[in-house]
Structure 1
Amino acid sequence: MAASEISGPRTYGNWRKPTSPGIHGLGMAGTMGLLGGLVLVVLSMLISLWLAIFVAVGVGLSLLPLLLRDTHGRNGLQRATARLAFRNGRKAGKNVYRSGPLGRTASGTCQLPGLAAQSTLAEATDAHGRPFALLSVPSANHHTAVLQCDADGASLVDSDQVDTWVAYWGQWLAALAYEPNLVACSVTIEAAPDPGIRLEREVSGNIDPQAPPLAQAVLREVVQTYPAGSATLTTRVALTYSGAAQAGQKRRDAQAMGTELGLRLPGLASNLSMTGAGPATPMTASDLAEAVRVAYDPSVAVLVEEARGSGGSGITWDEAGPIAAEEAWGHYRHDGAFSITWSMSEAPRGEVFSSVLASLLLPHPDISRKRVTLLYRPHDPASAARVVERDRKDSLFKAQQAKMGNARDSIAVRAAEQAAREEATGAGVVRFGMLVTATVTERDELDRAAAAIGNISAPARVALRRVYGAQASAFAAALPLGLVLPHHLRVPQAVRDAM
């Protein structure tokens, strides 16, 4: 009997959340603060006992917020700083955006708000002669190209074929570590109502006037009734490269990056076809501008589809943003729509099947438009070895702190050791995250959409945290724009990881 006949369904897992070593959950920053506080207490005892007690109480109170963690692992200091920053921004009016000729923008255009305000969009040509959009963010010197895929789907597909797709997807992600100057990769799956414009255009363009009347009547009825209640799924892959100076290379501008990406896109797109993503084609500047415009104002989706059939909508990058937007503590209002964005705080524990995210990706009747974005940051081979070895040492240090053996700590140690062995044999190491955005057309529907996300995320075994105080930035990061959030933080990512 073949091995495939006796083995059960294939499972996946063994992902590790980066942790910081520290004493009793304080992290590296908290531990260093504790050691520094102990030194101050000892020095204060040389002056006065009461002074030492006062210093000890002050050190304890300052470290207390680092110990108070919620269910998503955020400590009290992080929650307090987020609320303070949002309150100060709201007082300064930074949560309100008005564009257009009568808006607050100096240019009078409808440019994107927030993190993408300084972005520029150009168009280059790849090695196959296909035009593609090149999105540049000058503040980070990042340049992004977006591929649009026509995924095959897993319906009526053998499990062996699905396993093959997953294996090729893992190889494609691991190969990104060898891509020169690649910073990040994101995959955006968007579920939206199907207006039926494309179906009507396809049928009307291919119907035979000499066909029997009954056949023509059936086709017309299909065009009228099929789009009702149906949805469309779009998949976009954004590849973000850095134009910063490297060893032996000068700093490159958008034109130089367009030439370089044009040589790399065909190979990356062809390899995606083996992952079940179907044919991958580069998005043009017009396609990307239309997709972003529809994301900020879903009411123009039908108009954009109709315009595509007559030669294009003509939307430019300066017109892709919203006319008005307002960020609240727990949601984001943009033009005539309301959105809530969640971030993944914990990946599924244990082993999962390849269909673990199916419920989260499928359309939902209580949500007008739903966007699930997977964020990847591959480590190069040199840093990958350091990451897994540091993770293995951190897990051992944490397990040795407990007086009695902890089952979760022992499993974490074994998982870290397995990851180190796999990396030593050539496996790639990738940091990943996930953003989920639910968009509705009425404010009263926000609670129902939030409940729907909670229901469909439970089968996916994903812990989602509502991005309070940063809804506008999270909404932009969930779009296929290639925004790398760690490069836009005021507090460096290394400091955040140490907490």
Structure 2
Amino acid sequence: MTTQNEARTYGNWRQPTSPGIGNLGLGGSAVLLGGILMLVVLLYISMFAAIIGGFALAILLVPMIMRDRHGRNGLQWVTARVAYANGKSKGQHLYRSGPLGRVPLGTCKLPGLAAASTLYEAHDAWGRPFAMVTIPRTNHHTVVLTSNADGASLVDSDQIDTWVAYWGHWLSQLAHEPRLVAASVTVEATPDTGERLRREVFDNIAPDAPELSKSVLNEVVDAYPVGSAQLITRIALTYTGAGGTAIGGRKSVEDMALDLGTRLPGLAAGLQMTGAGPARPLTGEEMAEAIRVAYDPSVAALLDQARTSGGSNLTWDDAGPIAHQENWDHYRHDGAFSITWSMSEAPRGEVQSNILSRLVSPHPDIVRKRVTLLYRPHDAATAAGLVERDRKDALFKAQQKKVIQARDNAAIAASDQSAREEAAGAGLVRFGLLATATVLDKEDLTIAAAAMDNLSAASRLRLRRVYGSQASAFAAALPLGLVLPNHLKVPQQIREAM
């Protein structure tokens, strides 16, 4: 139990590891053992052939042994460089749409992984309209909820602990949600255009109000939005329409919309106890506006003005950028420049509930900042196997060393605790984090990168710039329901074994 003055802490998350010899994963260890057997055979044939084979095995294993501070080996660096150079030689880093572009019918469709996405609109069980984004390649369907989080300012610590507990419970229940494959929470810090305040004030001014009052309100409307910012929270839930023996047959887009429409009210109601506030699904027009502003921040004020006159009528075919250019370390889209980072290591040890507060808060050196937490819940059957395998991997790595280090003991203790909690009914969720910083001038990218380094250090996160895949990472940080492991050319199981 904790006293009133004792702050509650959280932790015991673990990064999946692959059992292997030394720094080699399972795949590298298999290559090493296979290479040794090959050398033994070559020794019976020719000493010269064995020496050549030994050099070839060393050239193959050395890149797999060398690892940077983010845990990536040399083979992953080489393949990333080759893949980016190959795509650039084919012109895949460029995108042009609109009337003079190469997109059919002169539209502005989304680029990259979301190019084939479609938007379907329906109504949920409460009669509210909602949008469903479909990715045909993976047969994934995503609905997005928006909420106005209450925030932790002037809130008792007991209430914050209650919110965190309900949030953990809400995440654990996702493992029992039929057909759900992933979820994400996007917190976007954007500059306030002032149109909402202007509309609220001018719509409520009495015609016979004193001139002094009107002048004061006009001055407030003109001065208040300068330097202010707003936080937008969106929760994306991604479901699969593929068939299976446990979840039924393959479902069409219409069937998925009907099925999700019955679940949305319950999922939205469950978020209220987490401190997220009242949640509602995004409509098709709101979804298109959110993605359009992400690619071109200059249209934010225009869209706010359009809402005051009945709506923007923006469609999904016009939600993408006019042009983009992907570079090795940054991404240019329309008139903005962005850098996206991925989390390579979660905070070590125990943390408090406000560990990410500085990371998601607005920053004066960044025009728009987007932090996305990615979740992939495991069902109960899969979770039991994963925690037991993780426990065995931790023991295997510790037993390889003559002297067991304190970090090895901590890893074993954490894996044991995870196994006990899972056996007691706790859920298992794999999570990650993407952070995107957007500026309007290329010269400001260096300042924005330095600011993100400071913010990640304050949050005890280790972030790695997504070199060579900035466009894909930018799209994955948006509430589009892109599950990146399903879009990799190399299966995730093979990548983890490296």
Report TM bin, short chain.
Answer: over 0.9
TM-score by length of 2: 0.99
**1:424 equivalent in alignment to 2:423:** yes
Q: Shift of residue 105 of structure 1?
A: 1.7
Q: 1:234 aligns with which of 224, 228, 232?
A: 232
* Pairing 1:329-340 to 2, within 5 Å after superposition: 329-340=328-339
Partner of 2:122: 124
* Pairing 1:210-221 to 2, within 5 Å after superposition: 210-221=208-219
Q: Secondary structure at the match of 1:290?
A: helix
Cα-to-partner distance string for 1:104-156 (whole Å, 9 max, x where unaligned): 22332100000000000010110000010010000000000000011000000
Distance 1:281 1:134 in 2: 13
* Pairing 1:359-374 to 2, within 5 Å after superposition: 359-374=358-373
Q: Which amino acid aligns with 2:191?
A: P
Q: 2:56 aligns with which of 58, 62, 76?
A: 58
Q: 2:170 aligns with which of 169, 172, 177?
A: 172
Partner of 1:489: 488
**1:285 equivalent in alignment to 2:284:** yes
Q: Shift of residue 217 of structure 1?
A: 2.7
Partner of 1:452: 451
Distance 1:22 1:397 in 2: 8
Q: 1:102 aligns with which of 100, 103, 108?
A: 100
Distance 2:206 2:3 in 1: 49
Q: Shift of residue 7 of structure 1?
A: 5.9
Partner of 2:474: 475
Q: Secondary structure at the match of 1:270?
A: helix
Q: Shift of residue 218 of structure 1?
A: 2.4
Distance 1:173 1:215 in 2: 49
Q: Shift of residue 50 of structure 1?
A: 2.4
* Pairing 1:139-150 to 2, within 5 Å after superposition: 139-150=137-148
Q: Shift of residue 460 of structure 1?
A: 0.1
Distance 1:39 1:241 in 2: 46
Q: Shift of residue 260 of structure 1?
A: 0.5
Q: Which amino acid aligns with 2:163?
A: W
Cα-to-partner distance string for 1:236-285 (whole Å, 9 max, x where unaligned): 00000000002162211111100010011110000000000000000000
Partner of 2:259: 260
Q: Which amino acid aligns with 1:269?
A: A
Cα-to-partner distance string for 1:454-494 (whole Å, 9 max, x where unaligned): 11111100000000000000000000111100000000011
Distance 2:335 2:270 in 1: 39
Distance 2:243 2:122 in 1: 21
Partner of 2:12: 14
Q: Shift of residue 4 of structure 1?
A: 4.8
Distance 2:105 2:457 in 1: 45
Distance 2:348 2:295 in 1: 34
Q: Shift of residue 59 of structure 1?
A: 1.0
Partner of 1:114: 112
Distance 1:5 1:411 in 2: 26
Q: Which amino acid aligns with 1:196?
A: G
Q: Shift of residue 224 of structure 1?
A: 1.1
Distance 1:405 1:230 in 2: 52
Distance 2:433 2:294 in 1: 18
Partner of 2:309: 310
Cα-to-partner distance string for 1:60-90 (whole Å, 9 max, x where unaligned): 2201111110010000000000011001111
Distance 1:226 1:6 in 2: 38
Distance 1:95 1:81 in 2: 17
Distance 1:71 1:193 in 2: 34
Distance 1:18 1:179 in 2: 24
User: Any conservation in 1 of the 2:2–2:8 contact (CA below 8 Å)?
Assistant: no
Q: Shift of residue 52 of structure 1?
A: 1.8
Distance 1:408 1:232 in 2: 41
Q: Which amino acid aligns with 1:291?
A: A
Task: Pick closer, same or farther for the CA change 1:61–1:4 going to 2, 3 Å.
Answer: closer
Q: Which amino acid aligns with 2:128?
A: R
Q: Shift of residue 213 of structure 1?
A: 3.4
Distance 1:263 1:172 in 2: 18
Partner of 1:206: 204
Partner of 2:345: 346
Q: Secondary structure at the match of 1:25?
A: coil
Distance 1:459 1:390 in 2: 33
User: Any conservation in 1 of the 2:32–2:61 contact (CA below 8 Å)?
Assistant: yes
Distance 1:364 1:314 in 2: 31
Q: Shift of residue 222 of structure 1?
A: 1.4
- The answer to which of 396-405 and 206-215 deviates more is 206-215
TM-score by length of 1: 0.98
Q: Shift of residue 319 of structure 1?
A: 0.3
Q: Secondary structure at the match of 2:312?
A: coil
Q: Secondary structure at the match of 1:267?
A: helix
**1:136 equivalent in alignment to 2:134:** yes
- The answer to which of 202-211 and 266-275 deviates more is 202-211
**1:301 equivalent in alignment to 2:300:** yes
Partner of 1:89: 87
- Aligned-pair identity (%): 63
Distance 2:65 2:373 in 1: 30
RMSD across aligned positions (CA): 1.0
- Name structure 2 gaps, 5 residues minimum: none
Distance 2:128 2:371 in 1: 27
Partner of 2:460: 461
Q: Shift of residue 6 of structure 1?
A: 5.7
Q: Which amino acid aligns with 1:158?
A: D
Q: Secondary structure at the match of 1:238?
A: strand
Distance 1:82 1:438 in 2: 22
Q: Which amino acid aligns with 2:113?
A: L
